[in-house]
Structure 1
Amino acid sequence: MAGQADHIMIIGAGAAGLMAARELGRAGKRVTILEARDRCGGRIAPLSADEFGYRADGGAEFVHGEAPVTRGLLGEAGLSLAPVNGARWTVRNGTFARDEMPERNTDAFYRVLSELTSDMTVTALLDRYFAGPDFASLRQSVVRTVMGYDAADPDRASVLALRDEWMHPGRGELGRIVGGYGALIDFLLAECREHGADIRLQSSVIGIETTDDGVLIRCAEGSSHRADAAILAVPLPLLQEIALPRPMRDKVTAAAQIGFGNVIKLLLRFESRWWTGIKAADLSDLLFVLSDVAVPVWWTQRPTEHAVLTGWLAGPPTSSAAQLDESQLIETGLGSLAQIFGLSLPQLKAELVAARAINWGNDPFSRGAYSYATLATRRAQAELASWDGGAILLSGEALYQGRDMGTVEAALSSGLDTARMLLGD
């Protein structure tokens, strides 16, 4: 079917789906996008500038590392990438310190990583090589990174996959898109429309059938759509919720071998950047603060002066907050900040201007935040991303086999690759 399909239906208007749609539209294909939400962007979720003073990101926020596809799109769109700078602080028992692992432990950890020849989970690595009391702080730091940065379960996460990420020289480079990721989605949408894409919102796909001449797609509200081919570009957990033909249904069972973590993200806007004036430490350069409270990670909007703190709870610890509604999550976040900075809850509430809390695991169209590699993930990705020339293809960040799984770059790259595969490029 490569190159022969004239009408392609794309299920999911996240970064992968929109990127695939743009590429196919530019090649002269007729493209229809079905999106379950009332907006495009998926796990890119821009919030109102009226609420936060800028177009804040309720989902993906940072551009990580080299990100060539993302940077290329930014160039096309005339958007700029602002570097993120500032200090990372850790607070324990009210004492602030710059967050640095002891040098000898860091060296030992990376030496073991570099010498590994077979894969194992993060937990197995720590149990085998760093079980002694001298490594307690190292173990805590590694586990915190795996859960907090990768949203991963240390009992499942692949060390070799994480080694590729941790030991890459560009890993620590972070940037933010001026105007937020929403500006990039706006550009992709405009490109899709310019090339004739038909975008249908609130169209939740519940089933796909193959026919003699392509596919028949059924939506929850009762509509049905025919096309020559379909690209299924939805978050990993949703693959199990869509009825598929038997061969494809058997294929997507491999998705269980790919880790998929959750994130709860809080955005709190205050009257002022009060944290720069606390007595405990000079935090005028604060970018990140890490702690052991309920919402353990917070960051500022440096180098801008927006009086917004973003809270982050990721990985297995999010299960403890699964039943909390948005107001309860905000209350938990404020309580965490009060503990970190030694302030009273009424003080913080008096300063609060706007607040949002997004639990991506409770979002019916995501069921979580982003993927990570387990011991079996690379084989599963190869299976899911392969194509036998049939009428249904899969795409999305979870299928990306490069170093930066779980990122917008991964989603954009996967969408691009899927479209080119269908076009026979």
Structure 2
Amino acid sequence: MPDNSQHFVIVGAGAAGLMAARELARAGRRVTILEARERCGGRICPLPASEFGYAADGGAEFVHGEAPVTRRLAREAGLSVRTIGGAQWSFDGTTFSRENPREPYDERLHAAVKGLTEDLTVAEFLRRHFAGPEHARLRHAVERMVEGYDAADPARASTLALRDEWMNDGHAIQARLDGGYGGLIEFLAAECRKSGVGIHLGALVTAIEEVDGRVGVRCADGEVHGCDRVILTVPLPLLRKIALPAAAREKAAAADDIGFGNVIKILLRFTRPWWHEREGLADMLFLLSDETIPVWWTRLPDQHPVLTGWFGGPGTAELSHLDPQGLIDAGVDSLAAIFSLPRGEIARGVVAASATNWAHDQFARGAYSWATPRTRAAQERLARADGPVLFSGEALYRGRDMGTVEAALASGLETAGIILQRWRG
């Protein structure tokens, strides 16, 4: 029989924290969640449907790959996961062209990565295998994918970790949750509360203390929550902001071997989908360019007149001085350059806008993790349940789609499973 007196404190009410809490509470454990924000969800950030015409996402948006945990949870919640389709277009500064999705992942790249026996950073891999001027286009395509899609630094990112992505021509399956990820978070939070989980919002954790075999979790307001074990699910940069016991601090240092990238995301709602008026672009899902905000996507198959701008990776530091309105202006400028339209014409058509530089979010300090050649060893160390402080979250996921909501949910589920197996009471 489980020891129902066991008390677990989970720091962070994002996808990983809520998933772990639900599983532990269902098994009869006492669970408290401490969340610094005034809402659940973390880097899942719903935006008002009244502003954008649908339940928009200011953070995580897509369901990547097979995502079995996400899809199973969505079915529980009565939510639909809809596969999306459409064309990927590119703008080279002069003309639009429909991109062949295989082009950046051609046979030369496949052959080179398939034969790798040791891990290399992406930058080193390109230097060794594709250094010549004849490979300039391929290098650009790979670097653009690594920086823009994975939010990673090619000088540190693992080639082996990205190999499956390249060999499969990118993530072949792309989908969205009807109603956005906010509905999934609402469901998980309600499930937690129904199982007796206490969720404390506005509770900023500053320290974890270990005294006489018990653990105390101290918040910024001075309140201390006593418990048997703590599960930290905060984004990697925030681990450095929490004072930890010596053993946990030593383990947390392994997080330095896991990459963590930034994303700037901009949503612009217009009076009409004016890009459809450009010949051939009615089927446009993604649009890639080299403008300041380089990637844009539409709501296909929905017809909402919204364009979402995306800028990921180390280059986002160049825009760190901009506030949300400055980012919106940069987005409008980029669209004006891409479509050769007067800036004022585009700006006048905007009826709602949102912009987030996730590096500026004090409770995230970035967007999501990515793998370096040393990440797998770091994940194994962090995932060990060998003390009163445990770690969980998307950065610890060892599957293919690291850095996703699926990764967070799966990690939370795995952490709860380890606890229930190891400490049966």
Equivalent residues of 1:90, 1:98 under 8 A apart: yes
Q: 1:240 to 1:266 in 2, by over 3 A?
A: same
Q: 1:18 to 1:105 in 2, by over 3 A?
A: closer
2:42 is paired with a residue of what secondary structure?
coil
Equivalent residues of 1:9, 1:32 under 8 A apart: yes
1:241 is paired with a residue of what secondary structure?
coil
Q: CA deviation at 1:214?
A: 2.5
1:356 to 345, 350, 354: 354
The code of the aligned residue for 1:351 comes to: G
Which residue of the partner structure matches residue 242 of structure 2?
Answer: 242
1:1-80 aligned within 5 A:
6-80=6-80
The code of the aligned residue for 2:348 comes to: A
1:276-335 CA-to-partner distances (Å, cap 9, x unmatched) read 002xx3100010000010000000000001110000000011000111101100000000
Q: 1:104 to 1:168 in 2, by over 3 A?
A: closer
Runs of 5+ consecutive residues of structure 1 not aligned to the other structure? none
Distance 1:250 1:209 in 2: 14
Q: 1:128 to 1:5 in 2, by over 3 A?
A: farther
1:164-197 CA-to-partner distances (Å, cap 9, x unmatched) read 3332488221000000000100110110011011
1:13-66 CA-to-partner distances (Å, cap 9, x unmatched) read 000000000001111111111000010000000000111011100000000011
Distance 2:97 2:170 in 1: 25
Which residue of the partner structure matches residue 394 of structure 2?
Answer: 397
The code of the aligned residue for 2:114 comes to: S
Equivalent residues of 2:102, 2:169 under 8 A apart: no
Q: 1:283 to 1:103 in 2, by over 3 A?
A: closer
Q: 1:231 to 1:105 in 2, by over 3 A?
A: closer
Equivalent residues of 2:93, 2:289 under 8 A apart: no
Which residue of the partner structure matches residue 333 of structure 1?
Answer: 331
The code of the aligned residue for 2:293 comes to: V
Q: 1:31 to 1:105 in 2, by over 3 A?
A: closer
Distance 2:343 2:151 in 1: 28
Number of positions where the alignment pairs a residue of Structure 1 with one of Structure 2: 421
Which residue of the partner structure matches residue 205 of structure 1?
Answer: 205
The code of the aligned residue for 2:255 comes to: A
1:424 is paired with a residue of what secondary structure?
helix
Distance 2:323 2:374 in 1: 34
Out of 77-86 and 290-299, give the one that drifted further: 77-86
1:14-413 aligned within 5 A:
14-100=14-100, 106-168=106-168, 171-278=171-278, 281-388=279-386, 390-413=387-410
1:284 is paired with a residue of what secondary structure?
helix
The code of the aligned residue for 1:355 comes to: A
Distance 1:179 1:74 in 2: 11
The code of the aligned residue for 2:141 comes to: S
Q: 1:101 to 1:70 in 2, by over 3 A?
A: closer
Equivalent residues of 2:101, 2:169 under 8 A apart: no
Does residue 417 (structure 1) correspond to residue 385 (structure 2)? The answer is no
Q: CA deviation at 1:369?
A: 0.4
1:147 is paired with a residue of what secondary structure?
helix
Distance 2:5 2:169 in 1: 42
Q: CA deviation at 1:99?
A: 1.4
Distance 1:255 1:301 in 2: 35
Equivalent residues of 1:3, 1:424 under 8 A apart: no
The code of the aligned residue for 1:409 comes to: E
Distance 2:4 2:151 in 1: 40
Distance 1:413 1:209 in 2: 28
1:204-232 CA-to-partner distances (Å, cap 9, x unmatched) read 00000113242101101221111121111
Distance 2:305 2:272 in 1: 5
The code of the aligned residue for 1:337 comes to: L
Equivalent residues of 2:15, 2:42 under 8 A apart: yes
The code of the aligned residue for 2:75 comes to: G
Out of 263-272 and 88-97, give the one that drifted further: 88-97
Runs of 5+ consecutive residues of structure 2 not aligned to the other structure? none
Q: CA deviation at 1:269?
A: 0.4
Equivalent residues of 2:87, 2:284 under 8 A apart: yes
2:106 is paired with a residue of what secondary structure?
helix
The code of the aligned residue for 1:131 comes to: A
Equivalent residues of 1:65, 1:170 under 8 A apart: no
Distance 2:15 2:93 in 1: 41
Counting aligned pairs with the same residue, the percent is 57
The code of the aligned residue for 1:287 comes to: L
Q: 1:170 to 1:292 in 2, by over 3 A?
A: closer
Q: 1:258 to 1:5 in 2, by over 3 A?
A: farther
Q: 1:90 to 1:387 in 2, by over 3 A?
A: same
Q: 1:53 to 1:103 in 2, by over 3 A?
A: closer
Q: CA deviation at 1:5?
A: 6.1
Q: CA deviation at 1:420?
A: 1.1
Q: TM-score, normalised by structure 1?
A: 0.97
